[in-house]
Structure 1
Amino acid sequence: MGVNTRYLLTVSHRSLPTSSPQCDDDVASDTLRTPGAPATSRVHSVTFDCKDTYVLAKFWSQVTGWPMGEDDHPGDPEAVVLPPADSGASRLLFIAVPEGKTVKNRGHLDLQPQDRSRDEEVERLIGLGATLHEDHRRPDGTGWVTLLDPEGNEFCVERSAAERAATGG
């Protein structure tokens, strides 16, 4: 019943070694020479700096429905939430740092409910310990909700695919 979101980052490789067969003397080394699909990098982990790795990993485990690592315990300097092996999704990694969050996140997760409506998912997440931060829902049913996890990291809840299909968007 969790959110099974997939994350894949595509990175174009702009710097090839001069010994590469794709480079020659009259082509700058930052030019990609092969036509077709760009080379890619897979995002292995989405990492959160936090005060309490276990508490935050447990929250995100409940959000996603994915298990925590078997070796994760309260007080550990790291904790992980593991996606299903065949999902292609990135794991969520939590690293203990001494300082707290002080400014808005430059990146955040957007969640799309898989088995319920956006509004039902917002209520579920608040019940797990999230806090309502900003409500961008519109009267026509579009929009999203920005929540905060237990350490104040922003994340958004979008409409489900079924809700989007029902309204043509």
Structure 2
Amino acid sequence: MASVLSEIAVDCAIPMLVARFWCEALDFEVLEEEAGLVSIGSEARGEHGLKLTFAQVPEAKSVKNRLHLDLRPQGSSQQEEVDRLLALGASYAEVGQQEDESWIVMADPEGNEFCVLSSLE
């Protein structure tokens, strides 16, 4: 039997800052909080839903992420979603992508890169 992906851990300087951004971006909520650690997810998905956990570390981010999240807008266009994420504190990220790519590379408030894909709608 195969494993199930249940949690993605992200190192950061200020866990609650990053957690709040991702809660708004993904319509998640804070599930657990303790010193230096915040986990978010969807209560509606129960124990089988994916969680993101933000863990405080002393060192700053120094290079491009080797793993990133891809977001696909639901009920809005790619540009509308990019605008919403910018208003939440995201920024555009330059990681060497080509101008004609179908995705837009962004970064959360601590510089963790992610992509906004085109909408399927």
Same fold (TM over 0.5): yes
Partner of 1:53: 15
* Alpha-carbon separation, structure 2, partners of 1:87 and 1:41: 15
Q: Do 1:101 and 1:152's aligned partners in 2 also have CA atoms closer than 8 Å?
A: yes
Report the 3-state secondary structure (helix = DSSP H, G, I; strand = E; otherwise coil) of the residue aligned with 1:55.
Answer: helix
Q: Do 1:136 and 1:144's aligned partners in 2 also have CA atoms closer than 8 Å?
A: no
The one-letter code of the counterpart of 2:11 is D
* Alpha-carbon separation, structure 1, partners of 2:48 and 2:63: 31
Task: Name whichever structure is richer in strand by fraction.
Answer: 2
Partner of 1:72: 33
Q: How far 1:44 sits from its partner (Å)?
A: 1.3
* % same residue: 36
TM-score by length of 2: 0.88
Calculate the aligned-residue CA RMSD, in Å.
2.0
**2:121 pairs with 1:159:** no
**2:76 pairs with 1:116:** yes
Partner of 1:127: 87
Matched length: 118
Select the structure of larger CA radius of gyration: 1
List runs of 5+ in structure 2 lacking aligned partners: none
Distance change (3 Å), C-alpha of 1:59 and 1:136: farther
List runs of 5+ in structure 1 lacking aligned partners: 1-38, 163-169
Structure 1 stretches of 4+ moved >6 Å: none
Q: How far 1:86 sits from its partner (Å)?
A: 5.2
Q: Do 1:56 and 1:94's aligned partners in 2 also have CA atoms closer than 8 Å?
A: yes
Q: How far 1:72 sits from its partner (Å)?
A: 2.8
Q: Do 2:19 and 2:38's aligned partners in 1 also have CA atoms closer than 8 Å?
A: yes
TM-score by length of 1: 0.64
1:2-41 aligned at under 5 Å gives the runs 39-41=1-3
Partner of 1:147: 106
